[in-house]
Amino acid sequence: MANVPKKLFRGVASTTLTGVYTVPADTTTIITNIVVANAGTSSASILVKLGAITLIPNTPVPGNGMITLDVTQVMDVAGQLVEVQGTSTSLGVHISGVEVTA
């Protein structure tokens, strides 16, 4: 098995729910870290879903603040999505993990 640490997504949160990562065929993905930074001066909220599960439910991020989440969330169904939505495009999101292939 090959274990490959990866940046699964790095970008700005859209204000509509958007798929930012799709689990590839024949791969198990393990989400390990999520960081959300708010570059704006006003509070904004972030929603992160892993498949059908809401992991971060419209959580406020203070202006010029950040949240970090260390997790071990296995996604083992090809085509499963990681989805992100913010209330402001001032939210930067970084999701990292490991892809495991046979």
Confidence of residue 51 (pLDDT cuts 50, 70, 90): very high
pLDDT(1) > 80 = no
In the three-class reduction of DSSP (H, G, I as helix; E, B as strand; rest coil), residue 15 is classed as coil
Single-letter amino acid code for the residue at 61: V
Q: What are the residue boundaries of the structural domains of the chain, listed by start? A: 2-101
pLDDT(48) > 80 = yes
pTM: 0.94
* Architecture of the domain made up of 2-101: Sandwich (2.60)
The enclosing H or E element of 57 equals: strand 53-61
| Mean pLDDT confidence for 14-42 | 97
What is d(CA 75, CA 6) in angstroms, rounded to the nearest whole number? Answer: 14
pLDDT at 102: 78
Single-letter amino acid code for the residue at 50: L
* pLDDT-above-90 percentage for the chain: 97
Q: Is the dihedral of CA 49, 87, 33, 23 positive or negative?
A: positive
DSSP 17-52: -EEEEEPPTTEEEEEEEEEEEE-SSS-EEEEEEETT
> Tokens 């989400």 belong to which residue?
31
